[in-house]
Chains A and B, each alone.
Chain A
Amino acid sequence: MRSRRHTAIAVTALLGLFATTACGAGSADGGGATGGGEIAVAGQFPTESIDPNGALAIDGGTRVASLQLYSPLLETVGPGEFDGKAAESWEINDTATEFTFTLRDGITFSDGSPITGQDVAASFERTVAADSPFSANFVDVGVQATDDTVTFTPAAPDPALLAKLTGVMITPAEATEDSYLDKPVTSGPFTVESFTPGGDLVMVPNDRYWGEKPTLDRVTIRSIPEVAARVTALETGELDIIWGISDDQVTQLNGNTEVQVVSATGSAVTTMWMNASTPALAKAEVRRALWQAVDFDKKIKALYPESGEPADSVIAPTVFGYAPQEPVTYDPDAAKQALVDAGFDFDTTLRFHFSQAQFRQWVKSVVSDLAAIGVKAEALEKEQAVYTEDLLSLNWDINIQQVGTLGLDASYNLGRLYTCAAERTGYCNPELDRMLKLAGTAVDPAERQAAYADATELIWNEAVGMYPMFVKNLFATRASVSGFEPDVEGLPRFDTVSVDE
């Protein structure tokens, strides 16, 4: 009898634990339910650093945080079009070797100290000195500053420098790595209330921001890397905005009237390079035939109905240098005949390497289409670090990745990845090098655009890779959220967001 009573007590205690915690669940932190204009948001990458010009500057979590916390000199608003942010105006000399920016009058950091040209120059020098992917953008670029101006002097003409500078965020000249561990001084619409690296970043409006103040009282960027957990948290109201969601989750969310899905065209293109340094893929006719053998339209409709649209160029329409091409039409019979005509060795097995689970079905489907015309391909899924190492050492025959264009200028994509010296695609063509050099140095935008169009046509016709899909970034918000507009690169920003209480 007593043992039954003990059991009952234990069960009651457990139920009590549930009940106690359940009572508090309705007031979970974040969420529109807390009122007062507070939101909680989460993407696929945790925020491990809020140093905008440090080693993780290009990391997904850091980029989203930087966009809210810091101001660049200028921002891209369209292909080859820029608006001033901290810079009121700028002048470029005739040879694109001197770029002088004049700062807005009276702008300050979040601690009230003035933002000066010296701060901009120091931020730039940190980017160049840091072991950051951005540093490769600024080889041999000098910088001089006064209190209200800053001048950049590339050693060679660099008309794309404006686009490249959109990634340099302004921080105080005296900032060091340690400044970003807790509550850094910021220059953007928000400032930091609290930050746990890899955990929550809580931001409040920067009262001294020079631009329009955010309407929200508080934004919490949470770390929820699992996409299913993010989607659930949005549906339960624990989160107000999420990103890094896939097409199948959109189907689930579309059935919920309390949420809405927002898509934004960024700069990413699904890119499948074919390694021209592999003997089997050395001929352009072979690479074109393989492209023709895959029914990409069908795959996009089946796998990426929300986030994909058939591509007609190597770079996205949002990028300066975009030039549309004649789509490659699916025709397996013609593809097989072209392979036979080109003397393709059907006994060769092509190594198709990829790293992200989101590509798994796509890759298998491509392998299946290739098998239908007798081409053997092996899908090799690799862990990210292994994939990257093999990618750089050209240890693959076909690969797949989403290639974006930072700053929305083709110099970052075509100019960096497709030259012989880059050794990134296995393809080397001095004629392409010449076109890209002209595109990268011509001062006249029309001349640059024409050169990139020529380069794109060559890359497309030579089938350096297959370019099947432009990628849209998907976001989902609670219905109570309004004013949410991702930036032109498809990243979320919260300074324009408001929320119903």
Chain B
Amino acid sequence: MLPQLVRRLGLMLFTVWGAVSLTFVILRLAPGDQATVQLGPEATAADVAALRTELGLDRPMFTQYLDYLGGAMTGDFGESYRFRDSAMTIILDRFPATVVLALTATALALTVGLILGILAGRSPGRLADRVISGITLVMQAIPPFWSGIMLILLMALTLRLLPSAGSGDLEHLVLPAVTLAIPFAALIARITRSSVAEVTAEPYIQTARSKGLSERAVLSRHAIRNSVIPVVTMVSLHIGTLMGGAVIVEQVFAWEGVGSLLVSAVGNRDYAIVQGATVLFAIVVVTMNLLADVLNARLDPRIRAGVTS
């Protein structure tokens, strides 16, 4: 187990380094830089050139990269030119809001997805299965920006039950979390349904039934535990996608998280923020991947045995 973990940690570091480097290169290759945006269309070419020199943007790319990499290794991505503060400080100030949003959406998606998936999967082909499969198909097909706007129209504008935009408290959290959770819940439901349907057809389930166990006991003791393994893997791997979705949802609902910060930073060529936030997202994704492996090993003795051997 230990060598496997060490190998995975090495791979994690390599992946994060790749994200760090790619972010740097892509930002530098994109036309228009911080000096152009900062001075705006009103500036003269001489003003822009002078600011480029002041910011060190006219230095050789490799020199800039080495400086950046050195800072990144200590978590220092420099100062945001717009906020005039440490980029990491600003990002970490916003990060809890994104985490709260992502975790709430995950909890909602898991609750709804597992319930629907189990209900559909334990009686494949029957009415409940067909109805739930249809609903989840629609839920998965709806893009979050559209469902977000529809929820705003319904819950905020028409029914006046919830605020339409903003962040900070529970009432502001509901609509963005539900928006983010909808496609995720559908995905979980579909995977859970397949898994439950597959597991309940296994001979050991028939054996459990023939021993006279109740259907509830068969499901809870045998079927669900084994069905949940692919769900755990998928949920862990899907956190990255959820972060990506949060970028859009935070914009729609003016939720003050890292996603909305990243969107404005890209447009403003605020390199320090973009680089810091991208690396943070990369670390979250690779950590969740590692967590998925560890959890799978915990849940499935066959994986543990494979790892050990």
Contact = CB atoms under 8 A, between A and B. Distances in A.
Same complex origin of A and B: yes
B78 interface: no
Contact of B31 (A196, A225, A389): A389
Interface stretch (A20-28, A71-79, A301-309, A486-494): A20-28
A236 B45 contact: no
B51 A384 contact: no
Chain A interface, >50% SS class: helix
Contacts of B173: 21
A229 B81 contact: no
A3 B30 contact: no
A29 B118 CA distance: 41
Contacts of B165: 222, 224, 226, 229-230, 232-233, 238
A199 interface: yes
B157 interface: yes
Interface residues of A, number: 66
Contact of B37 (A1, A3, A28, A384): A384
B171 A21 contact: yes
Contacts of A7: 115, 119
Given A55-B81, A391-B41, A385 B47 contact: no
User: Of residues B37, B42, B111, B253, which shows the largest number of chain A Cβ atoms within 10 Å of its Cβ?
Assistant: B42
Given A49-B82, A233-B164, A385-B269, A197 B90 contact: yes
B108 A223 contact: no
Contacts of B40: 58, 133, 388
A131 interface: yes
Contact of B36 (A13, A17, A18, A388): A388
A229 B216 contact: no
Interface stretch (B3-11, B13-21, B148-156): B148-156
Given A199-B256, A388-B40, A236 B163 contact: yes
Chain B interface, >50% SS class: helix
B31 A386 contact: yes
Interface string B163-185: 11110011101100000000000
Contacts of B12: none
Nearest to B31: A386
Given A235-B157, A238-B166, A133 B43 contact: yes
B254 A223 contact: yes
Given A28-B171, A131-B51, A385-B269, A222 B166 contact: yes
A392 B41 contact: yes
A401 B42 CA distance: 11
A178 B149 CA distance: 38
B97 to A, nearest CB: 10
A2 B33 CA distance: 61
A386 B162 contact: no
B36 A385 contact: yes
B153 A232 contact: yes
B4 to A, nearest CB: 36
Given A56-B82, A229-B254, 6 more contacts: A10-B112, A14-B111, A22-B162, A196-B256, A236-B156, A238-B164
Q: Which 5 A-B pairs have the closest CB atoms?
A: A385-B32, A21-B171, A22-B161, A389-B32, A224-B254
